[in-house]
Amino acid sequence: MSENQASLTAGGNSVDMPIKSGTIGPDVIDIRKLYGQTGMFTYDPGFTSTASCDSAITYIDGDEGVLLHRGYPIGQLAEHSSFMEVSYLLLNGELPSQQELADFTRTITRHTMLHEQLATFYRGFRRDAHPMAVMCGVVGALSAFYHDSTDIADPVHRKISSHRLIAKMPTIAAMAYKYSVGQPFIYPDNKLSYTGNFLKMTFGVPAEEYEVIPAVEKAMDRIFILHADHEQNASTSTVRLAGSSGANPFACIAAGIACLWGPAHGGANEAALNMLKEIGTPDRIQHYIDRAKDKNDPFRLMGFGHRVYKNYDPRATVMQQTVREVFDALKVNDPLFETALRLEEIALSDPYFAEKKLFPNVDFYSGIILSAIGFPTTMFTVLFALARTVGWVAQWNEMISDPGQKIGRPRQLYTGPTARDYVPLSDR
Ligand code: SDX
């Protein structure tokens, strides 16, 4: 990386700090020596101007609406690739040969089965438990079942646990859905694709042959691609921070799932569809636009806005096209799609959204597709977590295999009381 200098004058001291450049994107000012040289910290709650790491996995240009995975544009991957191929790319850095893809897919396929004891674990939950609560618990519990792949210093262990996590998430997700609807768990079918197997485990029943609809399988696989990774978002940063302490990969991914659940992050797909259902018909849109603009109203348009994208989220573009494909394949329509299209049109013509550069994000249209395929809204974030697991695992591996990585330990601006003596209870 090329180096030049930034200088900072603080408290009468002038400090020179190196500027580092990546291959593309903003340069960074290396402030690691700042505290030692000035006794001061930088201050950046929400990390709006902070790069937390080096990474070669995903690049986002928020102003241009660009998303690259190992250099490949998301639009090209969504059109030409598969989730298994994108998973290989994220993990290994290059597109696989035919043989490499076949070997990788076979390895993942043969890890899809869960330890049978985990089925009992599900039965400890209430049937109406939110599937994200179930997924958090079950993934965290995996470390209790797969002790033979938790030595994070061993690249072989890291590879096995990575494959196990990617492979078992569809089974865990499908079982969470089956448990919630009181239907029997369906075991993995190794004859099917990764995504076809997931659809069968979710919607198949023992009494009937389940036929995977190719157009739905393709749409679902594309949705997984669109959710696979996204730079240092909140849940990926959570996984990295948990991993920096040396926690086992199953615990780190469970932490990422917990973070993703929030409505400001991965929970927005569930919130966006619930919002569209609450709006109902296009004539009610303006009322909700007005609420979203009202500083005194906490309501926000769910599925709109993004910390990085100040242009159209390229994933939302593909998602909107996929709605039409799924509707055609299933010969269904959903009036909420028209409401969503109209909401987007009205919002994007409103100066408030234009000035704040608020565009639809990946979560705005995904719920309409998932609902048409048959998923309840409570499963939407589970599907996001299923797909994002490969990104979390790739980012975790990148961090753990960096010999220079340290435990993440931010500091603070302290605003509490100065030192004071304890007052005995009798004197209070
Ligand atoms: C994901 O980081 C990632 O990459 C995440 C993700 C991934 O793949 O991992 O892309 C997935 O999480 C997508 C985002 C899903 N979340 C939502 O759709 C929830 C609704 N959107 C927001 O709450 C919000 O836009 C965030 C959380 C996504 C981004 O928030 P920021 O960057 O912290 O921006 P902000 O909250 O400071 O908002 C800036 C301004 C504010 O107004 P002012 O205080 O400047 O007057 O824009 C307003 C906000 O009030 N604003 C919105 C809005 N989003 C921001 N106003 C109305 N509706 C919205 N959706």
- What integer best gives the mean pLDDT of the chain? 95
Please tell me the distance between residue 2's alpha carbon and the centre of ligand 1 in angstroms: 33
**CA separation for the pair 70, 29 (Å, rounded):** 24
φ, ψ (nearest 5 deg) of residue 195: -80, -40
Residue 230 CB less than 6 A away from ligand 1? yes
User: How do residues 367-396 score in pLDDT, each as one tens digit?
Assistant: 999 999 999 999 999 999 999 999 999 999
Cβ of residue 388 lying under 6 Å from some atom of ligand 1 = no
Does 301 contact ligand 1 (Cβ within 6 A)?
Answer: yes
Q: Which two tokens stand for residue 382?
A: 């589970």
Rounded to two decimals, what is the model's pTM? 0.95
Please give the pLDDT value at position 3. Answer: 55
CA of residue 304 to ligand 1 center, whole Å: 7
- The pLDDT value recorded for residue 1 is 44
Query: How deeply is 331 buried, as exposed, middle or buried, from its count of CB atoms within 10 A (0-12, 13-18, 19+)?
Result: exposed
> Ligand 1 atom 39: the closest Cα is on which residue?
356
pLDDT in tens, 238-285: 999 999 999 999 999 999 999 999 999 999 999 999 999 999 999 999
Q: What confidence category does residue 193 fall into, taking pLDDT thresholds of 50, 70 and 90?
A: very high
The torsion angles phi and psi of 233, rounded to 5 degrees, stand at -65, 175
Query: Residue 305: is its pLDDT beyond 50?
Result: yes
Q: What percent of the chain has pLDDT over 70?
A: 99
Q: Return the HEC string of 7-68.
A: EEEECCEEEEEEEECCCCCCCEECCCCHHHHHCCCCCCCCCCCCCCCCCCCEEEECCCCEEE
pLDDT of residue 257: 98
pLDDT in tens, 394-409: 999 999 999 999 999 9
Residue 2 has pLDDT above 50, yes or no: no
Is 363 among the catalytic positions? yes
Report pLDDT digits (tens) over 197-253. 999 999 999 999 999 999 999 999 999 999 999 999 999 999 999 999 999 999 999
CB of 233 shorter than 6 A to ligand 1? yes
Q: Which atom of ligand 1 is nearest to the CA of 364?
A: 18
In 3D space, the residue among 88, 87, 86 whose CA is nearest the CA of residue 75 turns out to be: 86
Predicted confidence at residue 10, as pLDDT, reads 82
Give the separation between CA 223 and CA 366, rounded to whole angstroms.
Answer: 8
Contact 105 CB / ligand 1 (< 6 Å): no
- The rounded distance, in Å, linking the Cα atoms of 383 and 172 is 11
Q: Which residue has the tokens 């659940």?
A: 261
Domains (range + CATH), the chain: 4-61 (2.20.28.60), 77-413 (1.10.580.10)
